[in-house]
Every structure is written in structure tokens, then in C-alpha cells.
A and B are shown apart, each in its own frame.
Chain A
């Protein structure tokens, strides 16, 4: 039997009248012209005209059919197929109840309804059949196993049900169903026809569905029964996101308030830093809309403070909190390593002025003599800029290599030193590069090389993408070092730009773990290139330094249900999670997060000193009241599909997927639609190019002779 998952799209079939209407509306434009006589027109056979009329009617019918097919395709038709091996009367082997414990189940009286539903299910299952209970939100948890005497399993289920409360996690149906399938089919013979039964009690939040159509489906050996918990409608606003921005001595905090209710709602948003209430604002949000609340406060003292935005005044509190941790911004350090250069404007002169231009740059530049290089590198600068180097001493090259191996970032431009030398032999060769020396024996403007290729996908050049900024044709290079990769393919080496002509690399990036070498094959001085006086020099150098200094690293955001990466606790030995657990960093690098709050870091020897490290928040999408039809749920996540069984049971919609299989066939209509569209295009084109008159051009005056002449 044909049914539809989105039957409201069938209303689109009403557009079937559209082609007829268009033909009708266009008719006045083709109003017949009364002409003096058609006797001079070439004779067109009547059947030709009639055939053309028929063709146009066929074309109109084709277009009508196209609209119907489109409506059918959008309404997602499927066939219900009765499966013979599943018998209604068969006594199921075991029952598992899957109870949604996501935080959306805490809204209104949903969880009380869910509890009643579990008890109803227990009442319907024969006493000699074991029952299990699994709670789930982001991940499933076995609350009551099915093993043991049936009566004991029921008692366990009831006991665990009394203790269960909705958590703070989101919903992930697929993980829960996979877990339930493993439990139900564990140790069962594949030939066993007695089906196991899975009861899913949930609000069927659409946000819990996997993206797209998952490959995985619940086994056909499991009977699926769904129970939708709706609960009373409530007025609910939630804090969806939180953002921070440091502005000199001010701190701006913005929160996004979303109104999930069907009426306009007002609420108060409070900003707390620690436990101190700093400010509160009232916000009014249209139904289904969102609004941003901004707080502008003086920058807090100290290095780090935890805080939260709190929304007051709706019926559901769990989604009213958003935590954040503010850390004092730290200026990054750029070490400028220079070579002796007698030029009036050496490379370091340009680089230093570009990097220190303006007061707002988030770094400080420290010039360092190569004799102090080792000591300076020990202080772990964020970036080392070594520009215009002719050569390096072996110890310095080794120090730089160790710095990069440890995650450091180096920008190096090659100067006019002889080749081979320590720089090329020891350092570049160690990076898998071969320096063939300067491309031209003399550095003069006549050489005039251009950049022939640039990798605009690299973060350094991302800002230059687009027609307005990607013109580098004004750059000229009068000499450069010819660099080659020693291996044909080296995944750690990538070229950012190449010169025109022989395609020698102009900029090369070499990766060493987290460390990076970014090598310019030219010296940024005026007798090598016009880059220093080119408008792109400042943005190019700034973008390069921002990339190397990891300025763009996104702020970490943790959600309940995710895992915390303990490596982020830089230099700390212990972590205290929002749920109160204290975790040794060395024990496990990845810690599951179960509650919202602040992750604190502490040293081993100071038990009572904790410093705010990161904020954990609940997933915002769980507040979304949009639900999925159980029909669709069963179709997408179970092999058997299913069919709704009767009317609502109180406020709980019951659903069973045990007797029928659904075969979605929308794709057939899509294919038909494509075929018909192609046919329509071909047919319409053929009709439009065909001459209407293809008969002999002889007049037929005799036909017009008067009968009574």
C-alpha cells in the first residue's frame, strides 16, 4: 500500500492546473488575426495542424505530469510490505526498554509520563519474559540488565526507574539503538524467529537524529515499538551561545537567547563573574526568534576568571545557564634573528617595522643577537623570524631545529650567502630541501622574476583570495635561491608559492609535528625584490606571523556528552570536572563530560588551589522542540520500518514496527522526474524549431470557388 511520509507536499499537486492556466493566460497574446484571405498561404494539410494541436496538448499534459511527480517525490512515498516471518502472535523472547534521559525529557511533566509508560509496558509484557532498561542521552547506560529470573528483572527495572533522572546531555538515537541491538541479539541464534522487542520511550527530538540517511539500521530481528512523550507545552527560552571579546581594558560578553515558545516571551539575563552578579538585562524575544544580549564590563583582574550567563524567568531552567572562562590575553613573542648586513635597509629593518607597526598588534618583537639565540629559544618564543640569513653556525642551526621539533615556528628568508654552507648543508638538507644557490649570478632588476603560482588555500594567503586581492603580478624578484625537495613526495613539505618560468619554489613550508619552518627563498631587501615596498608586504608578513604564531586557534568549547582533552591542562597535574570528579592528568588523556560547569586545573602539591581552565556547557540544540514523526524515525533507523498502532494513549503516542516493512521509493519519482524533465526539454525544443508549414507551396484557388457561381 502506498503511503507518504510528508503528505502535505501532495498539496503541491494542486499546481497541476498551472500549465493549463499559463496556456490560458497566454491565449490573448495569440488572439487570432482576421486576415483578408488565406488563399495565398501554402496549403497545410489538416492532419498536420491537428497533429500539432495534439502535440501541444501532449506537452501540456507532460508538464502537468511533471508537477504531479514533483509533488509525489517531495511527499516521500513508500510502500508498506507485510513481512510474513513476524507473527503478531509469536511470543517475543526478551524485551528491552530504552528510556530517553536527555535534558529535554526534563521539560514539563515529560519524565513522569515516561515513568508511567514504562510501568504500562511492564504490565503488558507476560510475567515470564525478562525485561531490561537502558537509559540514554549522548551515550547509552545499562540501568537494568535482562539476565536473571524474569520477576527479578522487572523489579530491577522498577527500582532503577525510581532512581533515574534526566541528565544534561543531548540525544543520540543511533548510538542508543546500536547498544540496544547488541544487548537484545547477544547470544541469540540467527535462525531464531522469536523476535526480541525494543521499546523506545522518548520525545523524539529531531536534533537527536543522525545527519542524512545512516547506513546502519536496527536489525530486522528486533521488533521496534516507539512511545512519544509530548508533555504539556511550556514557555521556554534558552541561552544558545556565548561569545567574548577583549577590547583593551574592557571585556564584552554576548549571549544568544532563543525563544522556543509559540508566544513572545521576556526574561532577565544576568552576568555573574565568579559568584558576583555584575549586571542584568531584560530581553524580549519573538516566538521562534533569537536575540543577543551584550554586556560590556571592565576587564577582570588576574589571569583567569570563570563566569556564567544566567537566564531567569521561564519554565525550564536547565538550558538557562552558559559558563565561560576568561583568560587574560597574552601578547605573543616574536624573536627577530638577524644577520650582519651592510645595506642601508637590510631585511630585518623592513621586518621589524612591519611587525611593530600600530599599537594593536597582539605580539611583541624582540631582536636577538645570534650569540644569545639558545637562551632566547629556551624562553619559548611563539615565532622566530630569521630573515636575510647568509649562513648559520652549526650550533645555532641545531638550536633552531630543536626549537621547531618541540613545536616552535620559524620564518626564515635566505640571504645572499655562498652555497653550500651550514645553512644549506646542515639545516635545509635536514628538512628535505636542497639549496642550489642563487638563481642568477648577479642580482639585478633585469632578471625580473614573477610569482607564477600561489596556494590561496594556505592560511597565509587565505585573506588574499578573491579577485580584489589576489593580484600579485606587481611583485618582482631580481634574484632568489633555487630550492628543491630532495624527495619527490614528502608529505611534510608543501609549497606556498612558486616563481614563474622554471617553477622554482618561492615559499616552502616544512612540518615537524606541531613545529613549522616557513622558508622564503628570497631576501626581502630592495635589491632582491620590490616586495618590501609593495602594498602586499605588510598583510603578507602579518598573515604569515599570525599563522605561525597560531593566532587563529579557535577557542575551545566543550559540551556535555563530549570528551575533555586533558593535554589542554598545560602544566597542571589534576583536573576537577564540573561533576566534582578529580582527575589525574597523567591517567587518561580523554575524559567524558557529564555535567555543565567549569573545568578547574590544580597542581599536585596544592590541594586546595584550583584555577579555572575551561567551560563545559549543555548542547543548545536539545532545547529545540521540533520532533520527528515516529514513522520517519522507524523508516530511517530500523530495518523493518513500522506502522503506527492506533490512537494516542493518554498523551503518549504508541507505535509499533513489528509487522510491516517500508520501502521508501521517493527516488523512483526523482528518477522519473529527471526523465520527464529531459523529455519535456527535448519535446518542447523540437516543437519550437519545427516549421508549421511543410506542405507544397501551391495555392488552391479552386477550393475557394463559389458553389453557386
Chain B
């Protein structure tokens, strides 16, 4: 079976963000993910031995009567997923050498993810940031939240410098624990602090998915002849001969992202990398796979503790 993907170049010609998101999300909508957390609900999940301090409301008294052992009943939590979409709208996201800039790609991806989550009835939160928080919509199950997110997305323009650690610190303060955080960014900023704060987010038992967006030219550094490049965020100008600096540039870039990849792996943070010329389906599929994998590992972990 051949699968057809929607070309970002074609998508870039459509201005209606909701229409775009609906087009992209179609086919990913229903019954493909579940909440990874167990809690009070009607759907039984498993038993686990009672330990001191457990809520006595969940003790299975009938089982105690039959076996003289204390066990707790665990149920699959049916409350909606609490997911916060975190979008980098710093000036570096504006760059694009092809039909779609990184910003256009990220914005559309964000809208598509929001639509998927909305269709599941999950709580959707949204935050956009550059050097400070640009927009914050707390996660609720209110269906109008999706519309608010789209309105915010449509009004945002990438500018200013990035300060991801600062935003992540803020996020750690305001987010309720054990939710899902999806960070969409080009991850072009110094390593150490970002990784530290991603780790701290993870430590608060959030499931963190980082989607890194690149432009094809950033990956190859191909320019026609000598050019003067201006740093989108710093404003620094530099005259470069691409052939002369390409090797060093690519090596520095590779080192940077290798480090991020390694640290994310260590911290059990899922990192996915996409370029702005790839179909959005890839990113959505990765999101779905990530969720399925998280459900399984989460279930095993729960049962392991049981």
C-alpha cells in the first residue's frame, strides 16, 4: 500500500490554520491513544499489594475476605490527558529556505497536535515563548480552548531572542505534575541550561516530547557564493564563504545535537527531529507512536510496582 503525504509546499499556500490542521490530522483522530495514568474510574486495570499510606477506599474487601490479604484495586484513569504544547517563537524560527519556514512548519504542527488532542477530549494547554512568555493558555478540557489556541497561533510572529530555560522554569512552576509537555523548537541555544530544565521537567513526572525543527539549508549550509549572514536573534553580521566554513559549521552543529540527543536519552526524554520540507504526517505519526510506547511502558511500570 502506498501512502501519500501532504507536501509542506502545498500546505504553505493555505492560510486558514484550522483547515490546515484538520487536513493534516485527518486519519489520526480516533482511539489511538489512551491516558497512561491509572486512577479512579470504572475500568479495572490490576491489583497491587497494600502498602502503608494507601488510600483505603481502593481496598478490595471481597478479596481480603477470600484470601485474607490486603490488595488495592487499580483502574485505568479515564480522565483526559493533560498536554501542554510549548512553541518556540524566537526569531531564529523565522528562517526558511524552502516553501515553508521553520515557524510555519512548527505552527502548523502545533495546531495539528492540538486538534488531535481536542478530538480525544484531552486537556490542551498552550504556551509560546521567546525570551519571555508570549502566550499562556492553561490546559483545560474546554472545547473552546482549541479555538483560543488557534487564534493565538495565528497572531504570533517569531521575533526576539530565545530563553527556553526561563520558560521551562516557569512551566515547572505552573504545570500540574504528571502531564505531557510537547516542546516544539529548533533547539538553537546553549545546551547546559536547557538540558537541566528539561530534566527537571521530567523529574516532575511529566512526559516530555521534544520536537526539533530544522531547515534543510541549516543541515547542509549550501549558499551560492560568498554571503553576509546576519544572526536572526543577535543581529550579528558575518561575511562567510560557505565552502570555506561548511565543514566546521556542520561539525559544530553535529556536536550540538549529538549532545542534546544523548542527554535526552539519559533523561528519558523523547526527541524527534524534522526538517521543514518533510511531510507533517511524519511528526504526527511520531507523536502517536510515542504515545503508544509511553502507554505500554507506563503500564509495565505500574504492574512492576504492583
Contacts and interface: CB of A to CB of B under 8 A. Distances in A.
Whether A associates with B in a native complex is: yes
Interface of A: 30-42, 44, 49, 52, 691-693, 697-699, 701-702, 704-706, 708-709
Nearest to B254: A40
Contact of B241 (A33, A35, A693, A702): A693
Interface stretch (B21-29, B63-71, B159-167, B291-299): B159-167
Contacts, number: 110
A36 B232 contact: yes
B304 to A, nearest CB: 38
B188 A36 contact: yes
A41 B250 CA distance: 9
Contacts of A37: 92, 188, 231-234
A185 to B, nearest CB: 69
A658 B241 CA distance: 64
Contacts of A691: 241, 244
A693 B243 CA distance: 11
Given A34-B232, A692-B226, A709-B193, A42 B252 contact: yes
30 contacts: A30-B227, A30-B228, A31-B228, A32-B237, A34-B94, A36-B93, A36-B94, A36-B186, A37-B231, A37-B232, A40-B249, A40-B252, A40-B256, A41-B229, A41-B240, A49-B238, A691-B241, A697-B247, A697-B248, A698-B252, A699-B252, A701-B256, A702-B190, A704-B189, A704-B190, A706-B165, A706-B166, A709-B163, A709-B165, A709-B166
Given A691-B244, A699-B256, A706 B161 contact: yes
A697 to B, nearest CB: 3
A693 B255 contact: no
B173 interface: no
A35 B229 contact: yes
A97 to B, nearest CB: 71
Contacts of A36: 92-95, 102, 186, 188, 215, 218, 232
Contacts of A709: 163, 165-166, 193
Interface string B158-192: 00010101100000000000000000001011110
Contacts of A708: 163, 166
Contact of B245 (A41, A698, A704, A705): A41
A596 to B, nearest CB: 70
B246 to A, nearest CB: 10
Question: Chain B interface secondary structure, helix, strand, loop or mixed?
Answer: mixed
Interface string B41-74: 0000000000000000000000000000000000
Nearest to A695: B248
B238 A42 contact: no
B16 interface: no
B229 A39 contact: no
B166 A38 contact: no
A619 B250 CA distance: 80
B227 A38 contact: no
A86 to B, nearest CB: 62
Contacts of B161: 706
Given A36-B92, A37-B92, A52 B230 contact: no
A38 B231 contact: yes
Given A40-B249, A42-B252, A692-B226, 8 more contacts: A32-B230, A34-B229, A35-B229, A37-B92, A38-B236, A39-B231, A692-B241, A697-B251
Contacts of B241: 691-693
A194 B250 CA distance: 87
A332 B33 CA distance: 116
Nearest to B166: A709
Contacts of B229: 32-35, 38, 41
A268 to B, nearest CB: 68
B285 interface: no
B256 to A, nearest CB: 7
